[in-house]
């Protein structure tokens, strides 16, 4: 696939964690499905790491800065940080197609929406209580969100399928509060987050793992679901299907 300028800009914004929840999820899906975007994301991340290492090793002189401005054909409107000039030098060497401005945004490791939700799951596991409201009764859990967030999440009673509802909490991704239901399968805790989308779409259940935890995602209409657990992937997919079929 040939990338457009918008694709490149969105990729950099995504890697820097600057997108809203909906756009971030859409970009995650696009990267998974597009080999060119996957390759570019890896290259940009590796470039950022290389620049970080170079920055700790040497400084850049004023003369070097002037030479780089001439080669790049840019006019200095402000004094850039020293490591940004190293970025320009490395860009010429590797023939990168991104600009100095695009490189300069890579100042910290990004967190995708699923990574932020995984962080929330881990924080909950480390706390004495995984929920803000504790109840196995869905008609207690669902009203708890009223007045706390603007959406009413689906709360499924899956006791018959072997998944016990423990309660719920509110996670935050990209500065947006997200409802998260908490279930248990034997000794395994499952966090199920529901995110409202701007448009209506449907996607099949997809599974992957990060840092030893299984993550299952799917989309139904304007709602995107993310289930996270150390439960084996087969049972977590079964959980996702049970949630989906409960609608």
What domains are there in the chain, each with its CATH number? Answer: 5-104 (no CATH), 113-245 (3.30.200.100)
Is the Cα dihedral 148, 128, 114, 174 positive or negative? Answer: positive
Average pLDDT over residues 189-213: 88
Q: 36-64: per-residue pLDDT in tens?
A: 777 777 877 777 666 666 554 445 566 66
Q: 132-142: per-residue pLDDT in tens?
A: 999 999 999 99
DSSP 161: G
pTM: 0.59
DSSP 165: E
Closest CA to 8 of 29, 33, 37, 43: 37
> Residue 191 has what pLDDT?
97
Return the bridge partners of 184, or none. 164, 189
Average pLDDT over residues 177-206: 90
Distance between CA 86 and CA 45 in Å, rounded? 16
DSSP 221: E
Return the bridge partners of 208, or none. 215
> Residue 60 has what pLDDT?
54
Q: What average pLDDT is seen over the chain?
A: 78
Q: At residue 177, does pLDDT exceed 70?
A: yes
Q: At residue 131, does pLDDT exceed 90?
A: yes
Helix (H) / strand (E) containing 228 = strand 213-229
Is the Cα dihedral 182, 185, 189, 195 positive or negative? Answer: negative
Q: Are strands 213-229 and 188-210 parallel, antiparallel or unpaired?
A: antiparallel
Q: 81-120: per-residue pLDDT in tens?
A: 555 555 555 555 445 444 433 333 333 334 467 888 988 8
> Residue 87 has what pLDDT?
57
């Amino acid at each position: 696939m040939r990338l457009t300028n918008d694709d490149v800009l969105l990729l950099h914004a995504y890697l820097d964690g600057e997108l809203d929840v909906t756009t971030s999820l859409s970009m995650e899906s696009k990267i998974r499905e597009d080999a060119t975007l996957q390759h570019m994301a890896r290259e940009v991340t590796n470039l950022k790491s290389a620049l970080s290492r170079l920055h700790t090793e040497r400084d850049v002189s004023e003369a070097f800065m002037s030479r780089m401005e001439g080669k790049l054909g840019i006019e200095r409107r402000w004094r850039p940080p020293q490591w940004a000039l190293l970025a320009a030098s490395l860009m010429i060497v590797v023939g990168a197609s991104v600009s100095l401005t695009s490189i300069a945004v890579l100042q910290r490791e990004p967190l995708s929406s699923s990574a932020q939700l995984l962080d929330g799951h881990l924080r909950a596991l480390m706390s004495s209580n995984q929920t803000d409201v504790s109840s196995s009764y869905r008609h207690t859990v669902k009203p708890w969100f009223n007045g706390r967030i603007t959406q009413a999440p689906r709360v499924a009673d899956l006791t018959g399928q072997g998944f016990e509802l423990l309660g719920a909490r509110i996670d935050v991704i990209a500065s947006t509060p997200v409802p998260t239901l908490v279930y248990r399968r034997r000794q395994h805790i499952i966090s199920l987050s529901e995110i409202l989308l701007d448009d209506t779409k449907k996607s099949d259940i997809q599974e992957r793992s990060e840092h030893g935890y299984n993550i299952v995602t799917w989309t139904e209409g304007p709602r995107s679901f993310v289930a996270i657990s150390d439960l084996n992937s087969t049972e977590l997919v079964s959980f996702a299907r049970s949630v989906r079929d409960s609608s």
